A and B are shown apart, each in its own frame.
Chain A
């Protein structure tokens, strides 16, 4: 009985911590993005609200929340609101299977810093990722407007194409690790003394492309394409309802997929890896916090890389994007599976 209560309490605490981190960080990533974009564009960015605009996300949130809730006259109100829920919930749920660090013991309880260490974690990730299609398709449909409809159709086309590529891309690490559990995948990389990026560069590139496509980042941001579709499927949304879509797409999803990429290719919370030799930890002085810092550091670097792309490149056309998915990325991923099957015994030893 006691262990059940403890389990529930621990789970609730984990949920609160993760939700707090994800939504709080998600909001503050808007500030990070604005600052990074500003410095790429040789301007200071937000400077007025708080020190270097640090309170800007709060001001933005307040502004969005206090805005009038507009609704298109001939839209479908139920679906219109459902789309927001469908966008936010699956994207956040992905964090249930993201391992932040190694198992530790606190007050006699063994705690894994992962909400649920299910043995089909990756399947769950991509299942939830595919749910994003529904959110966007419904948002476009329920708005009863042409621009959202076109935008959502574009996005649906992209996600369906890249869903296939990304699934085949992660096959490589899966073969090497021999498990679907995210926690176990990291453990295997530590045991095998190998970040999978060293033997899976192709898979990583395909994964990165798919990440950009699924989250609607440049060069694949055609579902909003300001110049053609104004802002695509969010045209008819206002206030916080509008604010949630970019928050989910650009920050929560990027964050979750970056975390998954770190888990799959960069050994999760492990420090710098020398292939087949071992790990070097320049942050050893942080003691038990070092794994968390490493995890955070890797996700941050990946996130900044995506921002850098976003503010540099032009965007592709829809036909070119799907063409790349089916004609380049999918064959690459398939070749990668074959190559992995050949080198896998070396890694397993």
Chain B
């Protein structure tokens, strides 16, 4: 387990007398009062906890109101400073020490205000905007405290416990024209109005007017529907000629409130929502979620070997699949039209294999808590073996078109350079951080399923430009093929009759079935993450017992990877916008959730 030990922080006690160090089985957390939070975070950053993983808030309202729940939570040490019965929110920060390979969680309590960490980590700035949006936490000193996903005039905070799941349907939300200028334009089919009544669309006008006061010549709207953004993402570029002076990112076009849904669904029901977050790597997200629940249940060891190998193999196929989509669209963005079709042809084969095994192509939901949904069908292993035998040859064919191509090099070399310090500051993970030379890969740092037993390397770049990220992803595909090969040889040895779903010894205590109905998770919390093709997909699960989680925070790799985009775009031209964005490779389903 990559969590720091309590003794690592003993000397901090002298500086922060009220600091509490709690080491539960699943995590290590430091409880600190709000006043000295920034001091502590700064100290931790100096001590090597440089990589920002995640920050969010848990609304404790329901717990504080119910005495029994409260006592349970206090017994499990879930709440920082339980003597404080008035502060409604508990904030947590997760940091990672890259050199010593350990993680720590910092917790604090608040009643609605927190100091901002934007000076320490830019990624924190985005996380804080999200918390402001969802919980209404005011961050003191935050430079740009506007809503992250909902629109400006939205009056509610959806992730608070008193916000109903179905929202307030009878209420008609006013358009921004009506709110800000008192316009009364009746009817949706009124073509006299210059803008639709959807408030987010009018956001554009406000934002653009704000922008135009600055000195840029043109404000270019890039998105929300633009082929270069690979999804419904929205960028505003302030242009001087073709040079970009400033970039704005507007998110929320695909916001579905996945975290709110998680609080109202059973553990296995939430599995299908993980498909729809990063829809290009559904199996990896499924696996990360399932592993997180298995860890909090403590049955990670009980999962049969066969299920572990199947999951690992399928995830790696999915990783190749996702990287192929990336490669195709990346080349397409840079004008190499043909590689796109080559990549998609191979991708189609993987899709067919996945469909043959799981019955679905995109939103798969194949793993289950305790194993997989069903056994591999007859012939699956042969098909996969045939595929991976051919695939490396295809890959080197494409590389011959691209890797040493002069145009390709000129478009990619020294474009969008991310230094290691930047990588920590912006909290990027996955191939983006590995392109900068930091071997940060959850498959090695906190191995789950069969990753501990298979042999593979982590490719890293040296400069951190787009070309390095390209090479890293290409090499990752080769490594995935290696992993799939090892899983295949292992699976061929395991008899067909071997179980693919866990048998739990204490059946009375834990009801583990494939459909997952009635699966109860004990009181506790966990932060567990898996390595998605886009980076570290983490799940912070806060459970108060029962069949539904109390709070689930998803750490979306694309969201934090995207936060470095405005920084990288400074003083670049529009043509680099596609290069850099595609090399970061965000998926909107995940940034917005």
| Residue of B332, B337, B573, B577 most packed against chain A (CB within 10 A) | B337
- A46 CB to closest chain B CB (Å) equals 15
A interface residues, tally (CB under 8 Å): 30
| Residue of B333, B335, B410 most packed against chain A (CB within 10 A) | B335
Are A228 and B228 closer than 8 Å at their CB atoms?
A: yes
CB closest chain-B residue, reference A230? B227
Are A311 and B573 closer than 8 Å at their CB atoms?
A: no
Residues of A within 8 A of B256 (CB): none
Can you list 24 A-B pairs with a CB-CB distance of less than 8 A? Answer: A37-B338, A40-B338, A41-B337, A41-B342, A42-B342, A43-B341, A218-B335, A221-B335, A225-B575, A227-B335, A228-B228, A228-B333, A230-B226, A311-B338, A312-B336, A313-B336, A314-B331, A314-B336, A315-B335, A317-B411, A317-B575, A317-B576, A318-B242, A318-B575
Q: Annotate A143-161 by CB proximity to B: 1 below 8 A, 0 otherwise.
A: 0001101100010000000
Q: Which of B84-92, B399-407, B444-452, B529-537 contacts A (4 or more CB under 8 A)?
A: B399-407
A320 within 8 A of B: yes
- B382 CB to closest chain A CB (Å) equals 24
Are A313 and B574 closer than 8 Å at their CB atoms?
A: no
Instruction: Find B401's partner among A42, A312, A317, A318 (CB 8 Å cutoff).
Output: A312
Tell me the complex Cα distance, A147–B218, Å.
Answer: 11
Are B405 and A228 closer than 8 Å at their CB atoms?
A: no
B221 within 8 A of A: yes
Residues of B within 8 A of A315 (CB): 334-335, 407, 411
Residues of A within 8 A of B220 (CB): 146-147, 150
Are A314 and B405 closer than 8 Å at their CB atoms?
A: yes
Tell me the complex Cα distance, A314–B242, Å.
Answer: 20
Tell me the complex Cα distance, A41–B332, Å.
Answer: 13
Are B407 and A313 closer than 8 Å at their CB atoms?
A: yes
Residues of B within 8 A of A221 (CB): 335
Q: Annotate A315-336 by CB proximity to B: 1 below 8 A, 0 otherwise.
A: 1111110000000000000000
Residues of A within 8 A of B337 (CB): 37, 41, 218, 311
A115 within 8 A of B: no
Are A41 and B338 closer than 8 Å at their CB atoms?
A: yes
A219 within 8 A of B: yes
A226 within 8 A of B: yes
Q: Annotate B558-585 by CB proximity to A: 1 below 8 A, 0 otherwise.
A: 0000000000000001111110000000
Are A42 and B407 closer than 8 Å at their CB atoms?
A: no
Are B342 and A146 closer than 8 Å at their CB atoms?
A: no
- B404 CB to closest chain A CB (Å) equals 12
Are A227 and B341 closer than 8 Å at their CB atoms?
A: no
B345 within 8 A of A: yes
Are B335 and A219 closer than 8 Å at their CB atoms?
A: yes
Tell me the complex Cα distance, A243–B202, Å.
Answer: 33
Residues of B within 8 A of A318 (CB): 242, 573, 575
B408 within 8 A of A: yes
Residues of A within 8 A of B332 (CB): 226-227
Tell me the complex Cα distance, A228–B228, Å.
Answer: 6
CB closest chain-A residue, reference B237? A146
- B390 CB to closest chain A CB (Å) equals 14
CB closest chain-B residue, reference A319? B573
A132 within 8 A of B: no
Q: Annotate A226-241 by CB proximity to B: 1 below 8 A, 0 otherwise.
A: 1111100000000000
- B572 CB to closest chain A CB (Å) equals 10
A222 within 8 A of B: yes
Residues of B within 8 A of A43 (CB): 341
Tell me the complex Cα distance, A315–B408, Å.
Answer: 8
Residue numbers of A with Cβ under 8 A of B are 37, 40-43, 146-147, 149-150, 154, 218-219, 221-222, 225-230, 311-320
Chain B interface mostly: helix
Instruction: Find B411's partner among A149, A154, A314 (CB 8 Å cutoff).
Output: A314
B interface residues, tally (CB under 8 Å): 31
CB closest chain-A residue, reference B572? A317
Tell me the complex Cα distance, A149–B402, Å.
Answer: 31
Residues of A within 8 A of B226 (CB): 230
Top 3 nearest A-B pairs by Cβ distance? Answer: A315-B335, A227-B333, A314-B336
Instruction: Find A227's partner among B218, B228, B242, B401 (CB 8 Å cutoff).
Output: B228
Known: A218-B335, A225-B335, A317-B411. 8 other contacts (CB 8 A): A37-B337, A41-B337, A228-B333, A312-B401, A314-B336, A314-B402, A317-B573, A318-B573
Tell me the complex Cα distance, A314–B329, Å.
Answer: 12
Are A146 and B221 closer than 8 Å at their CB atoms?
A: yes
Residues of A within 8 A of B574 (CB): 150, 228-229
- A327 CB to closest chain B CB (Å) equals 13
Tell me the complex Cα distance, A94–B575, Å.
Answer: 33
Tell me the complex Cα distance, A312–B339, Å.
Answer: 8
- A44 CB to closest chain B CB (Å) equals 12
- B358 CB to closest chain A CB (Å) equals 27
Residues of A within 8 A of B576 (CB): 317
- B418 CB to closest chain A CB (Å) equals 20
CB closest chain-A residue, reference B401? A312
CB closest chain-B residue, reference A310? B337
User: Beyond A41-B338, A42-B345, is A222–B575 a contact (Cβ under 8 Å)?
Assistant: yes
- A142 CB to closest chain B CB (Å) equals 17
Residues of A within 8 A of B578 (CB): 227-228
Q: Annotate B225-237 by CB proximity to A: 1 below 8 A, 0 otherwise.
A: 0111000000000
Instruction: Find B410's partner among A41, A146, A226, A316 (CB 8 Å cutoff).
Output: A316
Are A313 and B335 closer than 8 Å at their CB atoms?
A: yes
Residues of A within 8 A of B405 (CB): 313-314
Q: Annotate B309-343 by CB proximity to A: 1 below 8 A, 0 otherwise.
A: 00000000000000000000001111111100110
Are A219 and B573 closer than 8 Å at their CB atoms?
A: no
- A218 CB to closest chain B CB (Å) equals 6
- B334 CB to closest chain A CB (Å) equals 4
Tell me the complex Cα distance, A291–B313, Å.
Answer: 63
Tell me the complex Cα distance, A146–B338, Å.
Answer: 28
CB closest chain-A residue, reference B579? A317
Residues of A within 8 A of B401 (CB): 312
Tell me the complex Cα distance, A249–B338, Å.
Answer: 21
Residues of B within 8 A of A311 (CB): 337-338
Q: Annotate B158-202 by CB proximity to A: 1 below 8 A, 0 otherwise.
A: 000000000000000000000000000000000000000000000
Tell me the complex Cα distance, A149–B337, Å.
Answer: 24
CB closest chain-A residue, reference B230? A227
CB closest chain-B residue, reference A323? B410
Are B335 and A312 closer than 8 Å at their CB atoms?
A: no
Are A228 and B577 closer than 8 Å at their CB atoms?
A: yes
Residues of A within 8 A of B408 (CB): 314
Tell me the complex Cα distance, A226–B574, Å.
Answer: 12
CB closest chain-A residue, reference B408? A314
Tell me the complex Cα distance, A224–B334, Å.
Answer: 12
| Residue of B226, B242, B401 most packed against chain A (CB within 10 A) | B242
CB closest chain-B residue, reference A320? B410
Tell me the complex Cα distance, A43–B341, Å.
Answer: 9
Tell me the complex Cα distance, A149–B241, Å.
Answer: 11
User: Beyond A219-B407, A227-B227, A320-B410, is A314–B335 a contact (Cβ under 8 Å)?
Assistant: yes
Q: Annotate B69-98 by CB proximity to A: 1 below 8 A, 0 otherwise.
A: 000000000000000000000000000000
Instruction: Find A146's partner among B218, B331, B345, B573 (CB 8 Å cutoff).
Output: B218
Residues of B within 8 A of A222 (CB): 575
Tell me the complex Cα distance, A313–B404, Å.
Answer: 12
- B466 CB to closest chain A CB (Å) equals 12
| Residue of B331, B402, B575 most packed against chain A (CB within 10 A) | B575
- A314 CB to closest chain B CB (Å) equals 4
Residues of A within 8 A of B336 (CB): 312-314
| Residue of A154, A230, A315 most packed against chain B (CB within 10 A) | A315
Tell me the complex Cα distance, A42–B348, Å.
Answer: 14
- A116 CB to closest chain B CB (Å) equals 38
Residues of B within 8 A of A149 (CB): 218
Residues of B within 8 A of A226 (CB): 227, 332
| Residue of A225, A227, A315 most packed against chain B (CB within 10 A) | A227
CB closest chain-B residue, reference A157? B242
Residues of B within 8 A of A317 (CB): 410-411, 573, 575-576
- A229 CB to closest chain B CB (Å) equals 8
